[in-house]
Amino acid sequence: ELKATQGIKDEMIVDKKEEVTIAIDKAEYKQGEVIKYTISNNRNKVIFISSRIYCALDLQKYEYDQWITVEAFGPMCCACEVICEQPPCGSLSPSEKLQEEWSQLIYWCENEKTKIKNTPLGKYRLVLRYGEDEKTSCYYAEVTYSNEFIIK
């Protein structure tokens, strides 16, 4: 059984009353196996997230007794070869759910070219950035963490 760390209590992750949650479908995956997750808006008001879901998410790995953000989780928000702006905000209405999948690929830029690799083995969680104001806080106002999962 996985336990929450760094002051995050299990109740905060699983309590769905009036919170935004991100739930992973399983606790363990083989390397390369598709990971399914669901983002739920359990608040009584609309929330705003990036219209490109990978731009709203971070992947964190538990290493050296702390959570470390893994660079370039999922398909790139922007191509390596261009300078681009954040995509517009999308919305998630009260009680609405968004189901997504992740192929466990990590993307990054090297010499202006996109590189891709499998996610290394370890313990991970997803971090969702969202806001309640479409114009000013779609990306950075609030965060919520998924349940932890293992890639083995």
Give the global pTM: 0.79
Phi/psi for 39 (5° steps) reads -100, 125
Rounded Cα–Cα distance for residues 25 and 111 (Å): 36
User: What average pLDDT score do residues 113-119 get?
Assistant: 85
Of the listed ranges 58-62, 65-69, 104-108, the least confidently predicted one is 104-108
**pLDDT for 138 beyond 70:** no
Phi/psi for 36 (5° steps) reads -100, 140
In Å, what is the CA distance from 67 to each residue of 9, 71, 122, 124, 133?
15, 13, 12, 8, 28
pLDDT computed for residue 13 by the predictor: 43
